[in-house]
Amino acid sequence: MTNARFIAMLILSGILTVAVPGLAKEGLPDKSPPPLSVEQVRQIHHDLLQAAQGMKAGEDTAIRGLDQRDRTALAAAANPQNLNAAAIWKQILSDRPMMDSFRVNVDREMELASRLAAAPTPSEHNRLLFGLSAVVQEREALSTLLAALPDAVETAVEKLDRAITLDPDYAGPWFNRGRLYGLTGRLTQALDDYDRAVTLAPEDIRALINRGIVYRRMGRLQDAVDDYDRAARIDPSDTRALQNRANAYSDMDRWAEAADDYGRVIALAPNRTEAHYARGVALLRLGQHQEAASEFSRVIRLNPDPIAAYLKRAEAWGLSGDYDRAMADFRQVLVRDPDNAAAYFGQGLVYRETGDLDREIQSYTRALAADPNYLNALVNRGGAYAQQNRFDEALADFDRAIRIAPEDGWGYLNRGRIRLEQQRLEEAVADFTRAIKLDPDNPMAYVSRGNTYYLMGNRDGVCADVRKACNLGDCTNLELARKNGYCK
């Protein structure tokens, strides 16, 4: 047996450890999995590469027809707790980041074991042994996560700490620890680890993509886009960079760029339903309603549970003026989910556009029966009641809306208008003033308060409010007041 083969067997079995000052050995598994040959290591590495390519192409089953012995071999390497090998293999292949981490881990092991056999000096030999021990610690951290042991995350972090101490120039543990920090909300620590991983392995797009995700969660959207740009240049065929960049563009309201990136994802993975759906949303924002409806239609064909896509397609039809198709989609939702408040609300919007106030109110009432705190349904029903001069009912709805969302200025604005209709002028002014405090950039609140001041004979109040409304973009009342000589 060659030196390299012997070392590879020891490493993959989790046996090899190196004494490091200040580094405890506690926490290692009591039982070691069976040793693997170099040939098995190479086969596993090949299989993981094939799996990565399959996932990149969007295949549901990444590896087909793989020899069961190879699956069991990898499962054993990843499984010091001796769990079911097939279940562990399925876990690895169903989790792209985990699969990639194992692939990088095995790749590093193959490289170091090969170099160890030809180490020219004792110091280089020892350095490589430390590196191999770091690989073992990293794999044991991954295994701990797969086994879902108590305190698995913190135990895995401790093992990755050891790996970093053993070999601080190996990017893998930095990346995996950053991932765990990110999953547990420790974003600053995650960012530090991803920074180090990117420095050590600048061509490994995993760290770039994950760092971009952390930037996005921190609100640093342009930094996120920059990382996704870099990842996409390294591997233009990897959909993760494109999908994440599109998500960041969406957060930035850069809808055209988002739609383009989602389109690139679809070109690489045509059955990716979330990309079709997200592209449809972006096209809606761009006013391309027919194109958006086409994307949602694709989601409906691909997705066995297409309620969200039916709702969005109904929105697209409604915005394009095709109310019959919109209503048909809302009915499809209600067939699948008879208590879907959003579908009833959408029907109410269609009835509003077609001028059927009674059915509009009925639809909002059904939405509220399904969800009593549906704010938009309350507001719209209150508005419909007001159109029918049913002011007491409108006022009751706006009171409820304010109780649900007391910091939303529109609730006070709407209630103030009802009080204005009822000639309750002081109360109307109080509501409009509250609306202005909550949303000082809404010109409609100043216009409404100015109208109330006019009825109260408060010329200074009127002129001040219509000037402010004009500064915010609505100059209609100021021009009228000047024309009539009411304001200078």
- In 252-322, which ranges are continuous DSSP H helix? 255-268, 273-285, 289-302, 307-319
* In the chain, % of residues over pLDDT 90: 65
Question: Do 191 and 66 share a domain, yes or no?
Answer: no
Domain count across the chain: 2
Question: Do 144 and 186 share a domain, yes or no?
Answer: no
Question: Do 126 and 225 share a domain, yes or no?
Answer: no
Q: Which residue has the higher pLDDT, 2 or 267?
A: 267
Question: Do 152 and 176 share a domain, yes or no?
Answer: no
Tally: H helices and E strands in the chain: 26, 0
Domain span at 253:
168-270
Question: Do 127 and 242 share a domain, yes or no?
Answer: no
Q: Is 437 within the bounds of a domain?
A: no
Q: pLDDT band at 181, cuts 50/70/90?
A: very high
Q: Is 257 within the bounds of a domain?
A: yes
Q: Is 149 within the bounds of a domain?
A: yes
Q: Is 423 within the bounds of a domain?
A: no
Which of 115, 135, 167 is the C-terminal boundary of a domain?
167
Q: What are 353's two structure tokens?
A: 């556009």
Question: Do 78 and 192 share a domain, yes or no?
Answer: no
- CATH code: domain of residue 216: 1.25.40.10
Q: Is 32 within the bounds of a domain?
A: yes
Question: Do 28 and 141 share a domain, yes or no?
Answer: yes
Q: Is 306 within the bounds of a domain?
A: no
Torsion sign, CA atoms 276, 282, 286, 289:
positive
Which of 270, 290, 315 is the C-terminal boundary of a domain?
270
Question: Do 159 and 180 share a domain, yes or no?
Answer: no
* pLDDT recorded at residue 70: 45
Question: Do 150 and 30 share a domain, yes or no?
Answer: yes
Q: pLDDT band at 113, cuts 50/70/90?
A: confident
Q: Is 424 within the bounds of a domain?
A: no
Question: Do 177 and 231 share a domain, yes or no?
Answer: yes
* In the chain, % of residues over pLDDT 70: 79
- In 80-151, which ranges are continuous DSSP H helix? 85-94, 96-117, 122-147
Q: Which of 293, 287, 295, 306 is nearest to 266 (CA)?
A: 295
Dump pLDDT digits (tens) for 312-344. Answer: 999 999 999 999 999 999 999 999 999 999 999
The backbone torsions φ and ψ at residue 442, rounded to the nearest 5 degrees and listed phi first, read -95, 110
Dump pLDDT digits (tens) for 343-388. Answer: 999 999 999 999 999 999 999 999 999 999 999 999 999 999 999 9
Question: Do 69 and 192 share a domain, yes or no?
Answer: no
Note the pTM of the prediction, 2 decimals: 0.76
Q: Is 391 within the bounds of a domain?
A: no
Which of 241, 270, 299 is the C-terminal boundary of a domain?
270
Q: pLDDT band at 105, cuts 50/70/90?
A: confident
- In 355-390, which ranges are continuous DSSP H helix? 357-370, 375-387
Question: Do 210 and 61 share a domain, yes or no?
Answer: no
